[in-house]
Chains A and B, each alone.
Chain A
Amino acid sequence: MDNKNTKKPSFLFIGRSDEPILSKKNRKLLTDPLDDNNPITVQVLGICSALAITVQLKPAVVMTMSVIFVMACSNVIISVLRNLIPNRIRIIVFLVVISSLVALVDQFLKAYAYDVSKELSIFIGLIVTNCIVMGRLEAFALGNGVWKSFLDGIGNAIGYGIILIIVAFFRELFGAGTLWGIQVIPDFIYEEYGYVNNGFMLLSPMALITVGLIIWIQRSRNRTLIEEN
């Protein structure tokens, strides 16, 4: 049998039909943003929402899931349309695609998870201007195939989510002594050892300082990321 006929003539793999679905390169797209190229600590994208909603673990997880959904879908849509979008109006096209997806998430949360949606208030809406979505569309989806863009979207959204969840974990644990709303520090520690929750962790400045410390730890582990000045 002719070797060429065995290739999958698939819509997703235009130009690279012989590349396996999870080749080494594709896996790198997924894992790179988790640490070496993390959107928050290295690319400095999407900071605003990362800081504001990390008082508790639950909204942070909901936010992560919303961002994963929005990024995966918008990356795929823009990547499908990438040859049709005129360069001059691409920002508006991005905004339209992203804001329709975000409106979808917003309405969904209002219908099925009203408490969380109240807590997140305007920050779901602010995914529209979350530079992480826009930045990846501009930097990646506009020049790459559908499957790769999908992986890049998922990878970056998870990289963003990891930082969100780490910050939320520490802030909720030290600030309120709870995780996911359930008390984890037992009562006797409060009563017998005089332990007091550090309410300061719940206030906004500590989110900034926690992220600063995470950056410090990450960069002292991975020296290539250190900035000149």
Chain B
Amino acid sequence: MLEQYLNLFVKSIFIENMVFAYFLGMCSYLAISKTLKNGVGMGFAVIFVLTITVPLNYLIFEYLLSDGALAWIGPEYAELDLSFLSLIMFIAVIASMVQLVEMIVEKFSPALYGSLGIFLPLIAVNCAILGGSLFMQIKDFSGVSEAAVYGFGSGVGWFLAIVGIAAIREKIAYSNIPAPLRGLGITFIITGLMAIGFMSFMGIKL
């Protein structure tokens, strides 16, 4: 049992890395990776929100939206299939959760709010978050704990990616790059090279 979770965890960090394998959350990844400090802040915020929203959306999908999910209310609801609503539900849950998390963090941990605060609103439109929920819907997890592990693992994978690129970008500021390639261009190419590195994890199985 534990082995299965560990396998899923490692897989979601390295093999199915959100950034390098699916290009999710690229916009914030490119925009916020100029300094390492901001990269770390954004990375933690993504881990936080993914760990909460993926299991929550799993429960909503499993008990409200999927085919025949409403059977627990009564037999007359057993044939309803509301899965076409999943997109709107997921985004509503994510947007409201982000708002809620922001308020809770602000109230109970002002220090954490100070470092995460500005990144939290950005997360509502980070495709890595919605992507996590949509992949969860496709992957057909067997329980809520599996969905939570998947959410956490994807978050950690995203964190690794943004910390890596932020560190490289800080160093690369001192290098002599052809002028038209400076900034965005070289960042894309480095991300491509990092993705090649991450591909070497393919096929690892615990």
Contacts and interface: CB of A to CB of B under 8 A. Distances in A.
A208 B192 contact: yes
Nearest to B85: A103
Bin chain B's interface residue count: 35 or more
Interface in B28-81: 30-31
A99 B195 contact: no
Main secondary structure, interface of B, reads helix
Interface string A17-57: 00000000000000000000000010011111101100000
A211 B196 CA distance: 15
Contacts of B30: 44, 47
Contacts of B84: 103, 106-107
Interface string A80-108: 00000000000110011001101100110
A106 B179 CA distance: 42
A129 B125 contact: yes
A49 B84 CA distance: 21
Contacts of B27: 44-48, 131
Interface string B123-152: 011110111001100100000000000000
B188 A125 contact: no
B70 to A, nearest CB: 19
B28 to A, nearest CB: 8
Most chain B CB neighbours (cut-off 10 Å) among A41, A121, A125, A218:
A125
B133 to A, nearest CB: 9
Contacts of A107: 84
Interface stretch (A174-182, A186-194, A198-206): A198-206
Interface string A123-160: 00110111100100000000000000000000000000
Contact of A227 (B23, B87, B183, B191): B183
B185 A216 contact: yes
Contacts of B87: 99, 102-103, 106, 125, 128
A223 to B, nearest CB: 8
B201 interface: no
A135 to B, nearest CB: 9
Interface in A215-229: 215-216, 218-220, 223, 225-229
B131 A122 contact: yes
A212 B189 contact: yes
Given A46-B27, A103-B84, A205-B192, A125 B130 contact: yes
B168 interface: no
A99 B91 contact: yes
Contacts of B127: 48-49, 126, 129-131
A122 B138 contact: yes
B88 interface: yes
A212 B185 contact: yes
A129 B130 contact: yes
B26 A48 contact: yes
B192 A206 contact: yes
A14 interface: no
A203 B198 CA distance: 12
Contact of A103 (B88, B173, B192, B196): B88
Most chain B CB neighbours (cut-off 10 Å) among A47, A92, A134, A220:
A47
B180 to A, nearest CB: 4
24 contacts: A41-B184, A44-B184, A47-B26, A48-B26, A48-B27, A52-B22, A52-B23, A91-B121, A95-B95, A96-B88, A99-B91, A126-B130, A128-B91, A205-B20, A205-B193, A206-B192, A207-B192, A209-B192, A213-B185, A213-B189, A216-B178, A219-B185, A227-B184, A229-B183
Interface of A: 41, 44-49, 51-52, 91-92, 95-96, 99-100, 102-103, 106-107, 121-122, 125-126, 128-131, 134, 203-209, 211-213, 215-216, 218-220, 223, 225-229
